[in-house]
Structure 1
Amino acid sequence: MLNFVMQYQGVLKKMKTENSTEIQYYLDMKTDFLNMNQLLNKEIKLSFVTYECLNCHLEKKIYRQGFCKSCFFDAPNAGDWIMRPELSKAHLDIEDRDLVYEKSVQLQPHIVYLANSSNVKVGVTRKQQVPTRWIDQGAHEAIEIVEVPNRYLAGITEVALKEHVADKTNWRKMLKNDIEDENLVEWRDKLKAYIPEEAKEYFIENNSETNINFPVVKYPTKPKSLNLIKTPNYTGKLVGIKGQYLIFDDETVFNVRANEGLVVSIEL
């Protein structure tokens, strides 16, 4: 029988990352900050405790993206423009849920990028989120295509480019490390012709791709996702971290970000 000697409890939020020779991962457990890299090759017990909405902080069942159902449909940081940047309207002074908040997020520099995690895909992020966004997606290489002054321009550029390149990641392929290196500079130059007229002047002519290394001892061959609601107690040896996934020795994987809003205990 395993004897766990340390216990931490807190509401799950996506792991914070530090870009280094090998990505460093940190999990905020309310009163403690766990460096997850230090837990590699150690047995961990994960247990579901309850729910806590990331917006209202009430003990309410999580609906999507770490929010309870009412917050998901009411909170300004859960508007449709979050997932679909082309719906952004703050640049037109048009409010969705809270114009002050929307202006603070939408009216700042955004990057349209190519990332290679399971395949080459196009995506959008705020400039200040580079390279965090790429790390969260498990991309081993990425490159910026355009830098625009607002989220709307980034959104319409992404919509145009995804007619010619993927916009989704195959999480199983990414976790199996079943990947091929691509020349993202060539991809960037090839896609230049499809950038909308409004964003053409923001094309980035001369840059190189960023390479990212993840702390993985062993990749799974048949990753199976842990549902902590259906399986409220799980114990396994941590053998890797990629994207926002914890990878265990028995090929179980746990997506921290997809489980935001769950209160869990971690025993070491």
Structure 2
Amino acid sequence: MQYQTVLKKMMTELNNEVSYYLDVENDFLNMNQLLDRELEISFEGYQCLCCGKEKKIFRQGFCYECFYDSAAVGDWIMNPELSKAHLDIEDRDLTYEKKVQLKPHVVYLALSSNVKVGVTRKTQVPTRWIDQGASKAIEIVEVPNRYLAGITEVALKEYVADKTVWQKMLKNEVSDADLIEEREKLKAYIPDEAKEYFLENNGKITEINYPVHQYPTKIKTLNLEKTPLYSGKLKGIKGQYLLFEDNTVFNVRNNEGYRVIITIK
């Protein structure tokens, strides 16, 4: 079977094991069903996810021009504390920014390699945690806009990491930390503006299991521009990574906007 598509991040569903689906041109490929199958990935070119033109991808599936013009990739995406829609101040498109920024957001702790703090829209729970390869996660505060979530994250990352060590995450080298205990330690450092939104009685830890038959021991990253044709046996999926038997890992999300042909052998 062969599928031609422009890569976009895999869609996920939280079950006993995370279910993964890849959009392949008007159809969805159930990736869990491909475990232990041989996959061939052939790089065919680029297609910007914003303008649709066959232009080299710069970042996040966007060509250079769209990356610096589109409201969907403003600085406030990566740095929520820069959000200004609550002040009626436009960055690139105030209507779009209000639609995204003025929604409930969650600041959380996740355990993927080490304990890390992060921010996501309430509607993206637990999708965001799955995309990061978190094994466990717990919410700290739920605030009414992205700005409050951003300043809370900035304050808390003085005391806890805000990045995942992705190599350890993929090897399943996860620290054994008590998220409830860590959450209580951080309560004192929440900014005054967000203190009232602390989820006082939240003891709910979400546990996430991934469809992995074999974790890599020495990671080799697949770069489609350097290796435009790759074939390997799929042994697992974690975060947005495909894990292959020969220790090759492929980050689907990092290759958004790449046109590929996927052949299932």
Range into which the TM-score falls when normalised by the shorter chain: over 0.9
Aligned length: 263
| Residue 138 of structure 2 is aligned to residue 140 of structure 1 | no
Looking at structure 2, the residues matched to 32 and 202 of structure 1 have their Cα atoms a distance apart, in angstroms, of: 41
Aligned to 1:10: 5
- In the alignment, residue 108 of structure 1 is paired with which amino acid? K
CA contact (8 A) 1:8 1:32 kept: no
Aligned to 2:34: 39
Looking at structure 1, the residues matched to 46 and 70 of structure 2 have their Cα atoms a distance apart, in angstroms, of: 18
| Residue 257 of structure 2 is aligned to residue 261 of structure 1 | yes
Secondary structure of 1:265's partner? strand
Shift of 1:206: 1.6
Shift of 1:181: 2.7
Of residues 142, 163, 179, the one that matches 1:168 is 163
CA contact (8 A) 1:54 1:66 kept: yes
Shift of 1:31: 2.7
Aligned to 1:193: 188
Of residues 62, 65, 68, the one that matches 1:70 is 65
Looking at structure 2, the residues matched to 265 and 117 of structure 1 have their Cα atoms a distance apart, in angstroms, of: 31
Aligned to 2:150: 155
- In the alignment, residue 240 of structure 1 is paired with which amino acid? G
Looking at structure 2, the residues matched to 212 and 12 of structure 1 have their Cα atoms a distance apart, in angstroms, of: 24
| RMSD of aligned Cα (Å) | 0.5
Of residues 80, 101, 104, the one that matches 1:106 is 101
- In the alignment, residue 206 of structure 2 is paired with which amino acid? T
Q: Deviations over 1:212-266 (max 9, x none)?
A: 0000000011111100111000000000000000000000000000110101110
CA contact (8 A) 1:140 1:212 kept: yes
Looking at structure 2, the residues matched to 31 and 84 of structure 1 have their Cα atoms a distance apart, in angstroms, of: 33
Looking at structure 1, the residues matched to 177 and 148 of structure 2 have their Cα atoms a distance apart, in angstroms, of: 26
Secondary structure of 2:72's partner? helix
Looking at structure 2, the residues matched to 182 and 242 of structure 1 have their Cα atoms a distance apart, in angstroms, of: 20
Aligned to 2:215: 219
CA contact (8 A) 1:138 1:174 kept: yes
Aligned to 2:78: 83
Shift of 1:205: 1.3
Aligned to 1:26: 21
Aligned to 2:206: 210
Aligned to 1:97: 92
Instruction: Give the TM-score normalised by structure 1.
Output: 0.97
Shift of 1:179: 1.0
Looking at structure 2, the residues matched to 32 and 224 of structure 1 have their Cα atoms a distance apart, in angstroms, of: 30
- In the alignment, residue 245 of structure 1 is paired with which amino acid? Y
- In the alignment, residue 242 of structure 1 is paired with which amino acid? K
- In the alignment, residue 129 of structure 1 is paired with which amino acid? Q
Shift of 1:177: 0.4
- In the alignment, residue 76 of structure 1 is paired with which amino acid? A
Q: Deviations over 1:154-201 (max 9, x none)?
A: 000000000000000111100000112321011111000000000000
Looking at structure 2, the residues matched to 192 and 167 of structure 1 have their Cα atoms a distance apart, in angstroms, of: 16
Q: Deviations over 1:117-165 (max 9, x none)?
A: 0100000000000000000000000000000000000000000000000
Aligned to 2:174: 179
| Residue 250 of structure 2 is aligned to residue 236 of structure 1 | no
Instruction: Give the TM-score normalised by structure 2.
Output: 0.98
| Residue 125 of structure 2 is aligned to residue 130 of structure 1 | yes
